[in-house]
Structure 1
């Protein structure tokens, strides 16, 4: 059974690879995830959530 895991992307990486990894997990273009993050960051808590995800999410295996 192949389970789907959430990883930070190694190929779609701009800062830490969180948006690229979320985009790959859901099958969505990472640019859309980045735009949503920018809108969420305007509330102030989006930046904190991004860096928490960068610490918690493991890197994609090689």
Structure 2
């Protein structure tokens, strides 16, 4: 008679690295910093009249020249552009 064979799984040793580590990694104790919210303000440094175009450009991350050009082009068309600019000049706080 032949001797019974041992199971093959018993012959494979467990890796040492897996036996020492927990099944899950611990989460970091310090939460990630929260960035400050963006605020729409009139620009003190980059202004021609009231700083509205400079503030809008800073808020949206574009060059203030492009915002000014867009405003001048929009004034050519009928509408309340100047009134909106004056209203924004009064409502938007200065930085």
TM-score in same-fold range (> 0.5): yes
Runs of at least 4 residues off by over 4 Å: none
RMSD: 0.9
Pick the structure with more helix per residue. 1
Specify the alignment match of 1:57 in structure 2: 92
Name structure 2 gaps, 5 residues minimum.
1-33
What is the TM-score when the length of structure 1 is the normalising length? 0.90
Specify the alignment match of 1:40 in structure 2: 74
User: What is the CA–CA distance in structure 2 between the aligned matches of 1:6 and 1:56, rounded to whole Å?
Assistant: 10
Specify the alignment match of 2:50 in structure 1: 16
User: What is the CA–CA distance in structure 2 between the aligned matches of 1:36 and 1:52, rounded to whole Å?
Assistant: 18
What is the TM-score when the length of structure 2 is the normalising length? 0.60
Larger radius of gyration: 2
SS at match of 2:82: helix
